[in-house]
Amino acid sequence: MAETLEFELVSPEKLLVSEAVGMVVVPGSEGDFGALPQHSPLLSTVRPGVISIYQQGKVSRRIFVAGGFAEVTEDRCTVLAEEAVPVEDITADMVDQRLQAAKDALQEADSPLDKAAAESRLRIAEALAAARD
């Protein structure tokens, strides 16, 4: 049995992470799931949250993603994310700014479409705030 899993995190602009890992925990839209080697094939949407990468049983990296898709196969886990920030790079200013911007957008939204967009921005901002703690 393979000991490691090929984990890839890609954004439209570049390939962010590509490494062999012990386990990754991905915030799926129906709940977090951990992907270990020999995981059964799975396609899932990802909600805004933190991806934790485990090496030798310990968390080696934590990366915030603003939603996307995950594909898991026996020896590979691929996450397509639109935005990804390492947790240690998140600053209080950034969080405040985005929270404020999202709240403003929600206030100004008049059509249901705008409102939904603003709400999802707020959710992302809130997840970002939670990731920092």
Partner 1 sequence: MPSLKDLRARISSVKNTRKITSAMKMVAASKLRRAQDAAEAARPYAVRMERMLGNLASSVHGQAGAPKLLSGTGRSDRHLIVVMTADRGLCGGFNTNVARNARLMVRELLAEGKDVKLLCVGRKGRDALKRDYGALILKTWEGVNRRGVAFASADEVAQHVLDQFTSDNFDVCTVIYNKFKSAISQEVTRQQLVPFPVPEVSGTPGSTGEQKALYEYEPSEEGILADLLPKNVAMQVFSSMLESDASEQGARMAAMDNATRNAGDMINKLTTQYNRARQANITKELIEIISGAEAV
Contacts with partner 1 by CB under 8 A lie at 8, 10-15, 28-30, 33, 40-45, 69, 71, 73, 78, 80, 82, 113
Give DSSP secondary structure letters for 19-59. Answer: EEESEEEEEETTEEEEE-TTPPPEEEEEEEEEEEEEETTEE
Phi, psi angle pair for 121, to nearest 5°: -65, -40
Q: 57 vs 112, which CB is nearer to partner 1? A: 112
What's the token pair of residue 93? 């200013």
Q: Specify the residue, 88 or 108, whose C-beta has the smaller distance to partner 1.
A: 108
User: In the complex with partner 1, which residue's Cβ is closer, 20 or 59?
Assistant: 20
Q: In angstroms, what is the minimal distance from the CB of 133 to partner 1?
A: 27
